[in-house]
Amino acid sequence: MHTQRMAVSVSVLALLTLAACGTESDSGSGGGDTVQSDVPVTGVAWSVDSMTVGGKKTEAPEGSRLEFDPKGRAKAGFGCNHIGADARVEGDRITLAKPVSTQMACDEKTEKFEKAALAAMDGELTAKLSGEKLTLTTEGGDTFALSEEKPTGLAGTRWAVTTLLSGETATSVPADLPKERVPHLTFGEDGTVHGNSGCNSFHGKAEVKGSTITFGPPAGTRKMCPESEMEVERAVLAALDGPATYTIKGSTLTVTSEDGKGVGATATPATAEGTQEHG
């Protein structure tokens, strides 16, 4: 899959003119060439607002997202599982293929939406832009309605950890963790971080400079939990150790340490803070 680098814009004309560039870049050059375009599809965090199937509109589960990265992959989440698919962007057409999903148990409403979305993510979609809104239409006439996500601020946001990273491998945090054991972290304006690492609560220093966070040694409780929770905790703490780079796309935070250990986290309402340092 050829590499495409796209800057954020809202130009429908630019979307339509990408077709020629996209064709030229697929010349077997080994991915060395990049395509610059004003198309706000790749590299943008999109919030999924709703999906219309057979004329029936269904609101998307809270936190539903869709993203096309510059390496030819689409990543999505509709409130439960993590989904990935090959993605080819040419002009106003996006071709998705080989969608794969984690297999976590979901509530019935979320599962129904997720299955419909997965079916739509295996074929050709037509993209139409209107301001910061994006509509994707399947060949059968079903549609996704999306909105461009604005980056969430790092400090003061409660970040719930959803993914554990190790080099090129990403593992979902187990969905059956007790609610109070779901790892999360909150950065303060004063260069601190606190939260729960999967079993124990913790706090420590977190100095932010540019795209780098330098974590100091954490302090916290020392309880023992079931091995599944301790395993998550070890992975989270490994990512929050020393210098790490971070990125925020919409409501998603990625923190990666120098040795490739990292976490992916999603902004959650502040009202969820209630039990974070207890238990």
Does position 279 have pLDDT exceeding 60, yes or no? Answer: no
4 contacts 70 by C-beta, under 8 angstroms:
yes
Q: What is the distance between the alpha carbons of residues 160 and 272, in angstroms, rounded to a whole number? A: 10
pLDDT at residue number 80: 86
In a 3-state reduction of DSSP, which class is residue 272?
Answer: helix
In this prediction the pTM is 0.56
Which residue, chain included where needed, has tokens 């009202």?
271
pLDDT at residue number 3: 34
> Residue 45: CB partners within 8 Å, gap ≥ 6?
65, 67, 148, 149, 151, 249, 250, 251, 252
Position 261 confidence tier, pLDDT thresholds 50, 70, 90: very high
Does position 37 have pLDDT exceeding 50, yes or no? Answer: no
> Residue 184: CB partners within 8 Å, gap ≥ 6?
158, 159, 160, 161, 195, 196, 265, 268, 272, 276
Amino acid at 203: H
pLDDT at residue number 35: 33
Lowest mean per-residue pLDDT among 99-103, 188-192, 232-236: 99-103
Does position 170 have pLDDT exceeding 70, yes or no? Answer: yes
pLDDT at residue number 276: 38
Count Cβ atoms below 10 Å from residue 155 Cβ, excluding itself.
Answer: 14
Position 199 confidence tier, pLDDT thresholds 50, 70, 90: very high
Which residues pair with residue 277 across a beta bridge?
none
Position 196 confidence tier, pLDDT thresholds 50, 70, 90: very high
* Cα torsion 248, 254, 255, 259: sign: negative
Mean pLDDT of the chain: 81
> What backbone phi and psi angles, to 5 degrees, belong to 122?
-140, 75
Position 40 confidence tier, pLDDT thresholds 50, 70, 90: low
Q: Across 10-14, 64-68, 118-122, 201-205, which has the greatest mean pLDDT?
A: 201-205
Position 82 confidence tier, pLDDT thresholds 50, 70, 90: confident
Does position 265 have pLDDT exceeding 60, yes or no? Answer: yes
pLDDT at residue number 270: 58
